[in-house]
Amino acid sequence: MLKGKTALVTGSTSGIGLGVALSLARQGANIVLNGFGDVEGPKAQVAALGVQVGYHGADMSKPAEIEAMMAYAGETFGGVDILVNNAGIQHVAPVESFPVERWDAIIAINLSSAFHATRLALPGMQSRNWGRIINIASVHGLVASTQKSAYVAAKHGVIGLTKVTALENATTGVTCNAICPGWVLTPLVQKQVDARAAAEGVDNAEAIRRLLGDKQPSMQFTTPEELGELAVFLCSAAANNVRGVAWSVDGGWTAQ
Ligand code: NAD
């Protein structure tokens, strides 16, 4: 379905980004990976699906590096047809003691990077009259939790950016939508499970049960594969007129 298209997924060396990259690759899209840590493993996983794979190590907190990454995608693959703004980090602390440096980093990586990648991807998409921008927001783009001021502010901002981008391109073949996962068991969330296990003196399984029990009625994690399949749907012709939505995949979290 996506043969001949190129998808750039930010923060795709791990977790949800890697899951989305693999789902798009299974549909035939060439993939540009980005992110830190092990790169060769994710590259090999994508390449095994028979598509071309590239990598750029841009730090998504740095606009000049985002520009270099988009230029690399243009030179290597002829442009970006599908942009998945996924890179993100978390920090938990009350507002009055939230480290200023963490606030700035979360706003830069979780929100501003999506603006920069989007503004740089749009001209090519508009000239081809086809494009998909998928922002991995969060339930925290729709509702709040304590201790997550920067993350919640950034994710609400991502949903705002999604709507504006969708509206500005509404008469074209370029769509922009957000996916809002609840809990997904990735390294980002395992850190929060570990913190809860330590704080409450319980084992990993009990910490997970309590974490899910607080917010996610299904008592199940959403998986990166499930989110990847939703991204595939948003890239399909059936989603040509799905514009500016914030689609929850949260086990009922925001239905409460
Ligand atoms: P993760 O920690 O597994 O992966 C994050 C990815 O981002 C990694 O590839 C990492 O290398 C990359 N990254 C981090 N900082 C970067 C930077 N400065 N520049 C470039 N890459 C950077 O996390 P995840 O859980 O897969 O999260 C992915 C996205 O999904 C994030 O935006 C997160 O907010 C969102 N999300 C996650 C959950 C969840 O429960 N895990 C829920 C809702 C939304």
- ipTM at complex level: 0.99
Task: Quote the pLDDT of residue 143.
Answer: 98
Q: Give the pLDDT mean for 23-33.
A: 98
Spatial distance between the Cα atoms of 174 and 177, rounded to a whole number of angstroms: 10
**What's the Cα-to-Cα distance from 245 to each of 73, 133, 161, rounded to whole Å?**
27, 12, 11
Residues 6 or more apart in contact with residue 22 via CB below 8 angstroms: 45, 46, 49, 225, 228
- pLDDT, tens digit, 9 for 90 and up, residues 147-201: 999 999 999 999 999 999 999 999 999 999 999 999 999 998 999 999 999 999 9
Contact 87, 33 (CB under 8 A): no
Q: Is 72 a catalytic residue?
A: no
Give the mutation target among 89, 91, 134, 159 for probing the ligand 1 site: most ligand atoms within 8 A of CB.
89
Of 55, 72, 103, 151, the active-site residue reads 151
Quote the ligand 1 centre to 36 CA distance (angstroms). Answer: 10
Structure token pair of residue 2 = 């996506």
**Ligand 1 pocket member 41 (CB < 6 A):** no
Spatial distance between the Cα atoms of 162 and 112, rounded to a whole number of angstroms: 12
> Mind listing the domains of the chain with CATH numbers?
6-184+223-255 (3.40.50.720)
Nearest-CA residue for ligand 1 atom 8 is 11
Quote the ligand 1 centre to 213 CA distance (angstroms). Answer: 23
- pLDDT, tens digit, 9 for 90 and up, residues 115-125: 999 999 999 99
pTM above 0.95, yes or no: yes
